[in-house]
Structure 1
Amino acid sequence: MWSLVPPPNEETAMHDHRRLGRELDLFDTDPLMGAGLPYWLPDGAAVRHALEEYVRDAERRAGYRHVYSPVLGKRELYEISGHWSHYSEDMFPPMDLGGEQVVLRPSLCPHHALIYRARSHSYRELPLRMAELGGMYRSEMSGVLGGLTRVRAIQLNDAHIFCTLDQVAEEAYDALELIRRAYGALGIEPARYRLSLPGPGGKYVPGPELWRRSAALLRDVLDRSGVAYEAVEGEAAFYGPKIDVQIADPAGRESTLSTVQVDFHQPERFDLHYIGADGARHRPVMVHRSVIGSLERAVAHLIEAHGGAFPAWLAPTQVVVLPVSDAESDDALRLLRRCRDQGLRAELAAADQGTLGARVRAARLVPYQAVIGARESSAGEVALRLRDGRRLDARPVAEVLARIGAVVAGQGTALWESDPVVAHG
C-alpha cells in the first residue's frame, strides 16, 4: 500500500518527482494516452483534490466567484484576444467542425472576458473577481515534456479581476498576498520574485504607454509587499507585464508557479466596459492572477519539496490504523470508520500484512499511525505515532481524532501542537 522511500533529507536525486510520484503511486503515463498526458492514481487524485478544495476556499474567502467555461473555442475568439497572432505556435491545430474551426484553448482569459461581456456592469459591482480551475492545452514539443512539470493538458488555477484603474494596485497586492499565504500553508519556499517585462522583438502587443503604466503598477505592488525582486526583460506575457513567483527544484532548475498580471489589452479587444458614476461607459482593467499555477506543476513541486511527506491536510492518507494482532481487528475497523466519518483519509494496515514494525515502516510517510493493542482496545484508547518519530501516550479515541481534525482543518505544516505527555522514542 505504501512504498518505502528515503526521508526528505537524503540526496537530491532521490527527490525527483518523476521517480517519487511513481513509487508513491501518485501518477503515471501510458504511451497510448500520449506524451505529456499523465493520469492521476487514487493517491495522487486525493492530493490534487485537497489542493483544489484549499484554493477554491481561499478564493471564496477573498471574494472570488467561480465559473466553468468550455475547453474549446472558435478560432475567431483567439484571433480577437491576440493569442492566434502571438501564441499560435504553442496551440494545437484548429479542428474543422460544421464549417467552423474550433481550437483547444491555450488560456482561460478570453473565455472569462466573454463571460464578463455577457452582462452589463456598474462601477458598484467592481472589482468583479472571477475564478476557475479549468483545463487548457499547450502544444509542447516532445523533447521538453517530463513528469508533471511540462505537460500538454493543464488544469490551471486561474482568475481574472475586472476593476477600475484606481483599484488595480490594491487588487494586485491582495492577489500577491493570497499567493504568499498559500505558500505558507503548502510549505513552498519561493526561489525569487521576478518582474517580467517585454523584450525586443514583435511578440508583444503594441502600446508603449500602457506597458509603462502596467509595469509601474506592478513595481509599486512589489515595493509595497517588501519582497526582493528582479526585473527581467523578455519574460512578459504578450499582452502585458507580470509578477512571476519562481520556484526551484532540488537540482536548482527554476520555473514559474504563480503570477499576477495587469492587462489593458484584452478589455480593449473585447470592448469590455462598465457604467461609471457619471453614467458613461468606461473601460475596466483586467488583472490576471494564479495562486498555485497549474495543479500539475504545483503537485510536482510539492512532491519534491516534501520528499513525499506532505503536510497532514494534504497527505493522500492522513491516518493509518494498525491493530497489533487479529484480536484488535474489530476495534481497528471501528476506528477506521470513525476517521472516515470525520472526513479524514484513513486506511487499515491489518495484522496479516506483516509485523507491526514492518507496517509502521511501510507507512512512514503517513502523518498519523494509530496503533491499537490489547491495552488500548480494553481502554477504548489509541496510541499515536507521528511521522516525525514522536510517540504519544495512549489516550481516548475521541480526543485523538479531535486533535488530528483540528490540525488538518488548520491547514498548516505542523503535525501536532506541543503536548506535555508526548514521549520521544
Structure 2
Amino acid sequence: MVTRSPSARRPTMIDHRKLGRELDLFDTDPLMGAGLPYWLPDGAAVRHTLEEYVRDIERRAGYRHVYSPVLGKRELYEISGHWSHYRDDMFPPMQLGAEQVLLRPSLCPHHALIYRSRSHSHRELPLRIAELGGMYRSELSGVLGGLTRVRAIQLNDAHIFCTPDQVADEARAALDLIRRAYDALGIRSARYRLSLPGPGGKYVAAPELWRRSVAILTEVLDASGVPYDAVVGEAAFYGPKIDVQISDAAGRESTLSTVQVDFHQPEQFGLHYIGSDGARHRPVMIHRSIIGSLERVVAHLIEAHDGAFPAWLAPTQVVVLPVTDDETDDAERLVQRCLDSGLRAHAVSRADGTLGARIRNSRRVPYQAVIGPKEAANGHVALRLRDGRRIDPQPVDDALRRIVGSIDTRSAELWEN
C-alpha cells in the first residue's frame, strides 16, 4: 500500500549561490581567489555522476575520449586565432625560458593537434573526439558569481572532424544528444538561438566560410522543428553557433549547450584527410557541448530542482533512519547493503534528533529508509519517498531492487506501482 502526504510548499525564488552552500555542495575561499569555487563531497558526488553520465552517452554515440594539457604555447593560440580575436579573455602568458605558455581558453586547438597527429582516411570520418577538460577565462571580478561565472571551467566538450557532406547530419545528432540529456536531467531550454557574427574586427574575415556555415546551421534548425531566434553579434570568432539557452528563477538567460560549425581552424592547422579519390581534402570541424560546463549545469540544476536532484543524480540517494538506538546496527548493515548495490547512502542516528526532525532534515533525499523494532525483527524496511508517499514495510531485498532499478534507468519516478 502507498499513501501520500501533502508536499511542502516550495519557494518561488531560489539562488544556487545560497542554497548550494547550505547543502554543502560547493564553497569559495578568498585565498583561492574569486571565481574559483571548490567542490565539497556532496557536490563532487553530483559532478562525478554527471561526468559518468555524459561520457556514457557520448561513448554510445560513437565518441572517443581523450585528455589534453591545460597549457599551450602562445604560438598555438596565434595559429588558432584565439590570440588575435580572444586575447582580452585569456590569462596573461607565463614566461618559461625563451617560450611563453598560456592557460588555454578553449579545448579546440588541442583537439585539432590531436587530429593532426595521425593520418586519416575518409573511411574514418566522422571522427568524434570528446573530453571533459579544464579551460580558463580571465573574467572580471564584477561579473563572477557562484558557479555560473567562474575563471576555471570544466567543460563537456567535443570536436567532430567530418567531410563537408556529413556536417548537417552530425550537427543534428548533437542536437538530439542535447535533448536526451535535458530530459534525463530535468532541464527545460528557454529557447534556441542561431548566433551570428556582428560588425567589427571580432570575427575571422572569411565571408564565404561564414555564408556556408550559417546556411548549414539554419538548415539543421529548420529541419529540427524547434523555434529559434537569429541573434547578431553572438557567434564565436571562427564561426556561427546554435546556442541552447536556459534561464534562472529571475529570468536571467545564459547559454548552456552549443553546436558550432568551423571551417577556419581546419584551414589554420592544415588538417586534411585522404578522400576516395586519393587526394587530400580539408575536413570540417564541429564544436559541440551537450551539458556545457559542469559548473553552470550544476548551478542550474540546484535552482531548477530546489536542491532535490533527480534520484540518480542526488548526492545522497538513501538515508537510513533508525527509530531507536537498538536499531543502530541494523541501520549500518542496511547502509552497507546500499553501498554494495551502488547507491549513495548514509545513516542518521537518533543522536541527531527525533525521527520527525531527521525526516524533515532529509526532505531532499529521494528515499528515507526507516527501521523500527518490527522492521529490524523481520528484516524489513519502511520507505518514505521524497514526494510524500509512504511505502508499507517490505523485505530489504525487494526495496533495494526497486530503488536500484529506478536509478539505473534514470527514471523520473521514485516508485512505480
Question: What TM-score, normalized to structure 1?
Answer: 0.96
Over aligned residues, Cα RMSD in angstroms? Answer: 1.0
Q: Distance in 2 between matches of 1:10 and 1:69?
A: 42
Q: Percent identity?
A: 78
Structure 2 equivalent of residue 200 of structure 1: 199
Q: For 2:87, what is the secondary structure of its paired residue?
A: helix
Structure 2 equivalent of residue 46 of structure 1: 45
Correspondence 1:95 to 2:68: no
1:104-119 matched pairs, under 5 angstroms: 104-119=103-118
Deviations 1:361-404 (A, max 9, x none): 11010000000111111111111000010000111111111111
Deviation of 1:412 after TM superposition, in Å, equals: 3.0
Deviations 1:179-203 (A, max 9, x none): 0000000000000000000011110
Structure 2 equivalent of residue 409 of structure 1: 408
Unaligned residue ranges in structure 1 (runs of 5+): 1-5, 420-425
1:10-159 matched pairs, under 5 angstroms: 10-12=11-13, 15-159=14-158
* Aligned CA distance change for structure 1 residues 330 and 176 (closer, same or farther; 3 Å): same
Would you identify which runs of 4 or more consecutive aligned residues in structure 1 move more than 3 Å?
Answer: none
* Aligned CA distance change for structure 1 residues 7 and 306 (closer, same or farther; 3 Å): farther
Deviation of 1:210 after TM superposition, in Å, equals: 1.1
Deviation of 1:7 after TM superposition, in Å, equals: 5.8
Structure 2 equivalent of residue 370 of structure 1: 369
Structure 2 equivalent of residue 190 of structure 1: 189
Which AA in structure 2 matches 1:128? L
Q: For 1:393, what is the secondary structure of its paired residue?
A: strand
* Aligned CA distance change for structure 1 residues 340 and 8 (closer, same or farther; 3 Å): farther
Question: What TM-score, normalized to structure 2?
Answer: 0.97
Q: Distance in 1 between matches of 2:229 and 2:412?
A: 29
Q: Distance in 2 between matches of 1:226 and 1:380?
A: 53
Q: Distance in 1 between matches of 2:278 and 2:411?
A: 47
Contact 1:8 1:309 in 2 (8 A): no
Q: Distance in 1 between matches of 2:118 and 2:9?
A: 51
Deviation of 1:207 after TM superposition, in Å, equals: 1.2
Deviations 1:190-226 (A, max 9, x none): 0000000001111000111111111111111111111
Q: Distance in 2 between matches of 1:305 and 1:365?
A: 13
Which AA in structure 2 matches 1:75? R
Q: Distance in 1 between matches of 2:141 and 2:327?
A: 52
Q: For 2:158, what is the secondary structure of its paired residue?
A: strand
Contact 1:331 1:377 in 2 (8 A): yes
Unaligned residue ranges in structure 2 (runs of 5+): 1-6
Q: For 2:135, what is the secondary structure of its paired residue?
A: strand
Q: Distance in 2 between matches of 1:246 and 1:413?
A: 23
Structure 2 equivalent of residue 165 of structure 1: 164
Q: For 2:314, what is the secondary structure of its paired residue?
A: coil
Contact 1:368 1:386 in 2 (8 A): yes
Q: Distance in 2 between matches of 1:37 and 1:154?
A: 9
Q: For 1:245, what is the secondary structure of its paired residue?
A: strand
What is the number of equivalent residue pairs in this alignment? 411
Structure 1 equivalent of residue 330 of structure 2: 331
Which AA in structure 1 matches 2:121? S
Deviation of 1:413 after TM superposition, in Å, equals: 2.3
Q: For 2:261, what is the secondary structure of its paired residue?
A: strand
Which AA in structure 2 matches 1:11? T
Q: Distance in 1 between matches of 2:194 and 2:402?
A: 42
Q: For 2:86, what is the secondary structure of its paired residue?
A: helix
